[in-house]
């Protein structure tokens, strides 16, 4: 059973036990426009919450993706690096960025659920 | 996000309402509320312009008529030559030329188009500079010319391989025009000024139209299924692939036309030994750059990887040196090349095509190579 939570920076986290799969929301991709390049964190990298973890670039601009929680990167989505346009076509599915092993689950307390995120972007 | 007060202080073009009805995503640009893209998105808009035709609202740009007090256009041309290093006298009636206003240090105050309309000159200048340009013209040329700001006109660019056929339906003379021809023409029955030019590297036209008729003309052009509206995002990626300078980024008050690689735009008559050599602001420095070379030069850059190298990225001679040798002034992703493209300034000694350099992006040194511009071959109808 996974739970999906959201940050105010428009990232989603699908939580399964102590591992979170992280991506950007459909709202975020619609704001960015056509994505042409994605830079993912190195496997095994220790990330601190709010640290720049990945980069997503549209034709026009580069945007940082921040670590939503502290933890270690356990998996990265190589398919996304090869096909950045997945961010536009399937932001909350195939276009996940990385998986992170959550160091401190209390950090999840500050995140939004689906209803709160919908209100945030309304 | 802009607060409402900020948005309200922005100026709008005569096509503002049309942008909203077309679903344009509006952003502030040079004091105007302008569409950065439409629902198709930057990538599709860019590719559509290269394969078919794109319509751009460039009404934010300044349109100025220089009317000679003597009634002779060559007097306006001679007067304007005091402010630009171009041969304006030699522009034949019905022709247009690219020019730059220079400052006393040889830098560029703005770049512009100058057309000879027979009894006066017609200028198109950048939106962000137009107030200063007009003040400059009034201060320096008022003895010889009436400086007439044509603020009641819109400017529509129609660019791409199908621009000619799209415009031909509304203006029978359009196909006979050649690159940089410019003059008054009726388009859809409206009195317009049409030039065969643009800012994409593609064949195309710029149409100056009275503000009150602009929306009708734009809608008529957009009724053609070959023509899509194109926002500022794709305008920037198209001009970048075309190797064309963006004022305030690739050229500014600190770059001379020679450093900027714009030697082709300065005719021999204004250079050392020419019939009207010098006599423009900064002539000493600019002619010295022509005669003895400049220390740095604008170049095109291609990357080895997929990561775009953007404006502000520092350039290094190798992967480890601590002193940068240059800087990127424009950069992004080129949709037609499906690869990153950039331009920037490097020492002339390191400016040869194929020279390998490194650009620093997010703390990493990425391999880049100096490349020929334009990145995408232009298709002007000469």
Q: Among A34, A37, A60, whose Cβ lies nearest the Cβ of B307?
A: A37
Write a three-state SS string for A49-71: CCCEEEEEEECCCEEEEECCCCE
Torsions phi, psi for B356 (to 5 deg)? -95, 130
Domain count, chain B: 2
Q: Which of A35, A36, A61 to mutate to test the interface with B (most CBs of B within 10 A)?
A: A36
Domain count, chain A: 1
Print pLDDT tens along chain B (382 aa).
Answer: 444 556 678 999 999 999 999 999 999 999 999 999 999 999 999 999 999 999 999 999 999 999 999 999 999 999 999 999 999 999 999 999 999 999 999 999 999 999 999 999 999 999 999 999 999 999 999 999 999 999 999 999 999 999 999 999 999 999 999 999 999 999 999 999 999 999 999 999 999 999 999 999 999 999 999 999 999 999 999 999 999 999 999 999 999 999 999 999 999 999 999 999 999 999 999 999 999 999 999 999 999 999 999 999 999 999 999 999 999 999 999 999 999 999 999 999 999 999 999 999 999 999 999 999 999 999 999 9
- pLDDT at position A60, please? 83
Furthest C-alpha separation in chain A: 38
Q: Is the separation of the CB atoms in B267 and B86 below 8 Å? A: yes
- pLDDT at position B6, please? 61
Residue A113 covered by a domain = no
Q: Say if residue B209 is in the same domain as residue B319.
A: no
Residue A115 covered by a domain = no
Rounded Cα gap, residues B110 and B125, in angstroms? 7
Q: How far does chain B reach from its first CA to its final CA, in angstroms? A: 44
Give this complex's ipTM: 0.88
- pLDDT at position B7, please? 65
Q: Is the separation of the CB atoms in B245 and B255 below 8 Å? A: no
CATH number of the domain within which B309 lies: 2.40.30.110
Do A37 and B308 make contact, defined as CB atoms within 8 angstroms?
yes
Residue A109 covered by a domain = no
Residue B144 covered by a domain = no
Helix (H, G, I), strand (E, B) or coil at B30: coil
B233 CB neighbours in chain A (<8 A) are 33, 59-60
> Cα separations (Å) of B250 from B269, B276, B288?
26, 28, 21
Q: Give B43 to chain A, closest Cα distance, Å.
A: 6
Do A33 and B333 make contact, defined as CB atoms within 8 angstroms?
no
Residue A59 covered by a domain = yes
What is the DSSP secondary-structure string of B252-290?
-TT--TTTTT-GGGS-GGGSTTSTT---STTHHHHHHHH
Count of positions (residues) in chain B: 382
Taking each helix axis from N to C end, the angle separating B232-241 and B42-51, rounded to the nearest 10 degrees, works out to 50
A59 CB neighbours in chain B (<8 A) are 42-43, 46, 233-234, 237, 332-333, 335
Q: Which domain holds residue B349?
A: 295-382
CATH number of the domain within which B184 lies: 3.30.1360.120
Write a three-state SS string for B79-135: HHCCCCCCCCCCCCCCEEEEEEEECCCCCEEEEEEEEECCCCEEEEECHHHHHHHHH
- pLDDT at position B313, please? 98
Print pLDDT tens along chain A (122 aa).
Answer: 689 999 999 999 999 999 999 999 999 999 999 999 999 999 999 999 999 999 999 998 999 999 999 999 999 999 999 999 999 999 999 999 999 999 999 999 999 999 999 999 98
- Work out the angle at residue B345's Cα, subtended by the Cα atoms of residues B341 and B351, and round it to the nearest 5 degrees: 85
Q: Say if residue B337 is in the same domain as residue B228.
A: no
Residue A118 covered by a domain = no
Do B42 and A39 make contact, defined as CB atoms within 8 angstroms?
no
pLDDT digits (tens, 9 = 90+) for B59-103: 999 999 999 999 999 999 999 999 999 999 999 999 999 999 999
> Cα separations (Å) of B344 from A76, B232, B329, B338, B362?
34, 21, 5, 20, 18
Q: Tokens for B80?
A: 């304007």
What is the DSSP secondary-structure string of B222-240?
HTSTTEEE--HHHHHHHHH
């Amino acid at each position: 059973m996974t739970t999906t939570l959201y940050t105010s920076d428009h990232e989603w986290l699908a939580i399964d036990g102590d591992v979170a799969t992280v991506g950007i929301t459909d709202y975020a991709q619609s704001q960015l426009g056509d994505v042409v390049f994605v830079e993912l964190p190195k496997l095994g990298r220790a990330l601190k919450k709010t640290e720049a973890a990945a980069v997503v670039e549209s034709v026009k601009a580069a945007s940082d993706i921040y670590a939503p929680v502290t933890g270690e990167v356990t998996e990265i989505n190589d398919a996304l690096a090869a096909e950045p346009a997945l961010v536009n076509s399937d932001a909350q599915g195939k276009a996940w960025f990385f998986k992170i092993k959550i160091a401190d689950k209390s950090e999840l307390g500050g995140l939004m659920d689906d209803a709160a995120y919908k209100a945030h972007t309304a | 996000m802009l607060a409402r007060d900020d948005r309200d202080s922005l100026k709008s073009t005569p096509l503002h309402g049309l942008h909203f009805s077309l679903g344009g995503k509006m952003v502030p640009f040079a004091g105007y509320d302008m569409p950065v893209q439409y629902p198709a998105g930057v990538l599709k808009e860019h590719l559509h312009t290269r394969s078919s035709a794109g319509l751009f609202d460039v009404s934010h740009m300044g349109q100025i008529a220089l009317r000679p007090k003597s009634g002779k256009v060559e007097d306006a041309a001679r007067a304007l030559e005091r402010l630009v290093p171009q041969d304006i006298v030699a522009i034949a009636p019905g022709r247009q030329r690219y020019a730059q206003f220079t400052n006393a240090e040889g830098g560029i105050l703005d770049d512009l188009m100058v057309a000879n309309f027979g009894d006066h000159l017609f200028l198109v200048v950048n939106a962000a500079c137009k107030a200063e340009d007009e003040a400059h013209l009034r201060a320096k040329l008022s003895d010889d010319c009436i400086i007439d700001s044509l603020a009641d006109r819109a400017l529509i660019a129609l660019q791409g391989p199908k621009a000619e056929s799209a415009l031909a339906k509304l203006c029978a003379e359009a196909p006979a025009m050649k690159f940089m021809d410019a003059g008054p023409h009726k388009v859809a029955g409206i009195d317009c000024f049409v030039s065969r030019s643009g800012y994409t590297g593609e064949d195309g036209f710029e149409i100056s139209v009275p503000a009150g008729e602009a929306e009708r003309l734009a809608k008529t052009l957009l009724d053609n299924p070959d023509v899509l509206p194109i926002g500022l995002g794709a305008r920037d990626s198209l001009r970048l692939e075309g190797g064309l300078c963006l004022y305030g980024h690739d050229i500014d008050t600190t770059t001379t036309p020679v450093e900027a690689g714009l030697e082709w735009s300065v005719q021999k008559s204004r250079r050392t030994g020419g019939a009207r050599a010098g006599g423009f602001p900064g002539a000493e420095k600019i002619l010295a750059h022509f005669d003895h070379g400049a220390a740095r030069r604008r170049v095109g850059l291609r990357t080895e990887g997929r990561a775009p190298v953007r404006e502000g990225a520092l350039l290094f001679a190798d992967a480890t040196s601590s002193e940068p040798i240059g800087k990127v002034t424009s950069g992004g992703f080129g949709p037609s090349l499906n690869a990153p493209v950039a331009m920037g300034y490097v020492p002339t000694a390191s400016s040869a095509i194929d020279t390998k350099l490194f650009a620093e992006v997010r703390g990493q040194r990425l391999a880049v190579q100096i490349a020929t511009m334009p990145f995408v071959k232009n298709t002007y109808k000469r």
